Structure 1
Amino acid sequence: MTRVTIHDLRAARYCLAGVRPWFRRHGLDWQSFLDGGIEAETLRATGDALVEPVILQAEARAAMMLEADDGR
């Protein structure tokens, strides 16, 4: 499973001031997200298409990390 972090939001160039109320509207814990991220599927379950660019960033980050690990 892919875990989305604050770094992915920034990479997708999302405004953090707008994301915090979005989390609240969807019943998601902003501080918990900041502390450890959130599963991509939890974001997808909101049904909001705006999550897809952020998830794509998280998936790309995860793929790069795997490639780096394979190169050891």
Structure 2
Amino acid sequence: MSDIRRAKMCSSGTRAFFLSQGWDWQDFLKNGRDAQDFIDTKDAMALQVVEVANGR
């Protein structure tokens, strides 16, 4: 979630994105998710979060 915030994304929009992907939001908060999953979506905002996460 910290990478999402650093990318200036809101949690409500992110939860909606997870729902659209069929991903479990609570599991993500507890365990994270592999960056490749986000890359595979080809979603511009998801890719932006991956870039932020890789730049830390």
TM-score, L = length of structure 1: 0.71
Structure-1 residue corresponding to 2:23: 28
Rg: which structure is higher?
1
Number of residue pairs aligned between Structure 1 and Structure 2: 56
Query: For the aligned residues, what is the CA RMSD?
Result: 1.0
The runs of at least 4 aligned residues of structure 1 exceeding 6 Å deviation read: none
**Identical pairs, percent:** 38
Structure (1 or 2) with the greater helix fraction:
2
Structure 2: segments with no counterpart, 5+ residues: none
Task: Name the CA distance, whole Å, in 1 between partners of 2:39 and 2:22.
Answer: 13
Structure 1: segments with no counterpart, 5+ residues: 1-5, 62-72
Structure (1 or 2) with the greater strand fraction:
1
Structure-1 residue corresponding to 2:35: 40
